Amino acid sequence: MYFPVYRPRRLRKSETLRRMVRETKLSPDDFIYPLFVCPGRKVRREIGSMPGVAQLSVDLAVEEAREAHRLGIPAVLLFGIPRKKDLRGTEGYARNGVVQQAIRAIKKEIPGLVVITDVCLCEYTSHGHCGVVVKGDVDNDATLALLSKMALSHAGAGADMVAPSDMMDGRVKAIRETLDKRGFQHLPIMAYAAKHASGFYGPFREAAESTPQFGDRKSYQMDPANAREAIREAALDVQEGADIIMVKPALPYLDIIRAVREQFDLPVAAYSVSGEYSMIKAACREGWLEEERVMMEVLTAIKRAGADLIITYFAKDAARVLGR
């Protein structure tokens, strides 16, 4: 079927025709909305590098979650900024830690909203690394116990799902075993399976106050150059009991989203990270790009690549566009 018999433009003639043959359709059901929870009451601290995103105290985080729920977004992903940080990230698994409080408050006020928690030590440690530091290096096996403790404390507070983002080897297994032993056999794990050591996390580290105080995360997060290794990482997490596997970042890693989608039959999530958001916000502020258009294009591209779920700071804005 070649020109002039076949003309692809025939089916592009009107919006109605285009709608009929559109292959990828976004829905608010696809989105997970990240929230940064900080101590205090009525606190709203804007993140300079992420316009429209703020650290929120529990009371305001509940309101933000309510708004997301009202827009049809099924889930939020919680990050905590603790009152104080220490070497072992104690506040991360404290009964009354800021995330634990937020889980209880959101589940009480909006029971229908799925509450997912980020399980990682970097927001809670004084050195800003994702695990316990021994002799200047992040000690893998010593970290597993703390991550398990953190996941368990989130579960105990009522979280619907936990999402380990630390990239220690064996953490999904450790968390699964701990949850199962303590009566949380039904709690799903969304594993940050292929998480790369990316420059695009910069603005998040301002939001979560989690910049490493020495060195970088390259000894535990993946090399951005590696795609085959991403499949191995995902395979390990699947074997260890992950229910959802995540690729992160999203936009510069569409090939990896596609590869993971093709290799596994579990739901695939993609984290469109802070730098992806800030990049669009900054260019639009300059008038160089049209925000709504590129936002929807990028989200569509991530879904087209194979993501079932997209973690995005644009969740509310995109849900609004889809709802009109």
Q: List residues binding ligand PBG (CB under 6 A).
A: 118, 120, 122, 130, 165-166, 201, 204-205, 210, 217, 273-274
Helix 98-109 vs helix 140-157: angle between axes, to the nearest 10 degrees? 30
Q: Is residue 42 among the annotated active site residues?
A: no
Q: Which residue, judged by CB position, is nearest to ligand PBG in the bound state?
A: 204
Residue with tokens 């928690």: 117
Report CA-CA distances (Å) from 107 to 34, 192, 211.
16, 24, 30
Residue with tokens 């039904």: 186
Measured CA to CA, the distance from residue 127 to residue 323 in angstroms comes to 43
Distance between first and last Cα of the chain: 38
Q: CB-wise, 183 or 221, nearer to ligand PBG? A: 221
Contacts of 108 (CB under 8 A, 6+ apart): none
Measured CA to CA, the distance from residue 58 to residue 97 in angstroms comes to 11
Residue with tokens 């990828």: 24
To the nearest whole angstrom, how small is the minimum distance from the Cβ of residue 253 to ligand PBG? 13
Q: CB-wise, 184 or 201, nearer to ligand PBG? A: 201
Contacts of 11 (CB under 8 A, 6+ apart): 17, 18, 20, 21
For residue 110, count other CB atoms closer than 10 A to its CB: 17
To the nearest whole angstrom, how small is the minimum distance from the Cβ of residue 20 to ligand PBG? 36
Catalytic option among 85, 108, 181, 195: 195
Q: CB-wise, 101 or 312, nearer to ligand PBG? A: 312
Q: Is residue 248 among the annotated active site residues?
A: yes
To the nearest whole angstrom, how small is the minimum distance from the Cβ of residue 192 to ligand PBG? 7
Report CA-CA distances (Å) from 297 to 8, 198, 251, 292, 293.
21, 22, 11, 9, 6
To the nearest whole angstrom, how small is the minimum distance from the Cβ of residue 118 to ligand PBG? 5
At CA 79, angle to CA 227 and CA 290, rounded to 5?
65
Query: CB burial class (10 A; 0-12, 13-18, 19+) of residue 14?
Result: exposed
Q: CB-wise, 154 or 217, nearer to ligand PBG? A: 217
To the nearest whole angstrom, how small is the minimum distance from the Cβ of residue 12 to ligand PBG? 35
At CA 314, angle to CA 97 and CA 67, rounded to 5?
60
Q: CB-wise, 201 or 253, nearer to ligand PBG? A: 201
To the nearest whole angstrom, how small is the minimum distance from the Cβ of residue 227 to ligand PBG? 19
Q: CB-wise, 59 or 209, nearer to ligand PBG? A: 209
Catalytic option among 25, 84, 108, 248: 248
Active site residues: 195, 248
